[in-house]
Structure 1
Amino acid sequence: MPRRVVTIYSRKRCPLCDKAKAVLLELREEYHFTLEEVDIETSDELTERYGLMIPVVHIDGEEVAYGIVNKIDISNRLQNGAK
């Protein structure tokens, strides 16, 4: 089975982003996924798309969470599949 990819869209100086990243790092120990972090400030398109929603979490390209990221919800998605 291919390794899952979890992407977090965030920006610097964002306390919610820091909390979400900590949750994902903790979950990565259990679910062994690849974690990618994208700074939305590197792209006008990403800033426009996610500026008010960050952090935004995608699993294998599917948006699964934004704002306050719930560890249990992400864990369930990783365990049961993102679809």
Structure 2
Amino acid sequence: MHTATEESRSPTIKMLWFQGKSMQLAQYSFQLLRRNLSASKTALPVLTLFTKDPCPLCDEAKEVLEPYKNREVDITLPENSAWYERYKFDIPVFHLNGQFLMMHRVNISKLEKQLQKLEQQGAEG
């Protein structure tokens, strides 16, 4: 189902609707971002998801962010004990390029803003 709002958005943003969910989720197009970052010799962004099993919010986040996710960290593994101590009550937690981005629920708007910021920096650099 397409809405007027969807049709008026930038071609670099595609709107997705998930059945049974009341929120609208967006997927940022990595094609333009990759082209700009490749041209500027800047590394592609890395989205890290700090998770554990079981975690229903993490499962939902994985589904929503599948196009973005590059790395997953299971905080229950012994080698990740520092992350466990830091985030044991806050998962899922997301970092973008090693910096804290968000926790608990996916905020697509925030992610898109950060990706667009990286894209602009890549185009300027």
Deviations 1:9-45 (A, max 9, x none): 001110111111122214x3xxxxx610000001322
- The sequence identity of aligned pairs, in percent, is 36
Write out the 4+ residue segments of structure 1 that deviate beyond 3 Å after TM superposition: none
The CA distance in 2 between the partners of 1:40 and 1:6, in whole Å, is: 16
Q: Which runs of 5+ in 2 are unaligned?
A: 1-36, 38-42, 119-125
Moved more, 55-64 or 44-53: 44-53
Q: What's the counterpart of residue 53 of structure 1? A: 90
The correspondence for 1:77, drawn from 114, 119, 122, is 114
Q: Which runs of 5+ in 1 are unaligned?
A: 29-33
TM-score (norm 1): 0.79
Higher relative contact order (CA 8 A, sep 6+): 1
Asked if 1:35 corresponds to 2:70, the answer is: yes
Give the secondary-structure state (helix, strand or coil) at the position aligned to 1:7. strand
RMSD across aligned C-alpha pairs, in angstroms?
1.5
Counterpart code for 2:88: G
> How many residues are paired up?
75
The correspondence for 1:13, drawn from 54, 65, 80, is 54
TM-score (norm 2): 0.55
The CA distance in 1 between the partners of 2:75 and 2:60, in whole Å, is: 17
Rg bigger for which structure?
A: 2
Q: CA contact under 8 A between 1:23 and 1:71: conserved in structure 2?
A: no
Counterpart code for 1:35: N
Q: What's the counterpart of residue 14 of structure 2? A: none
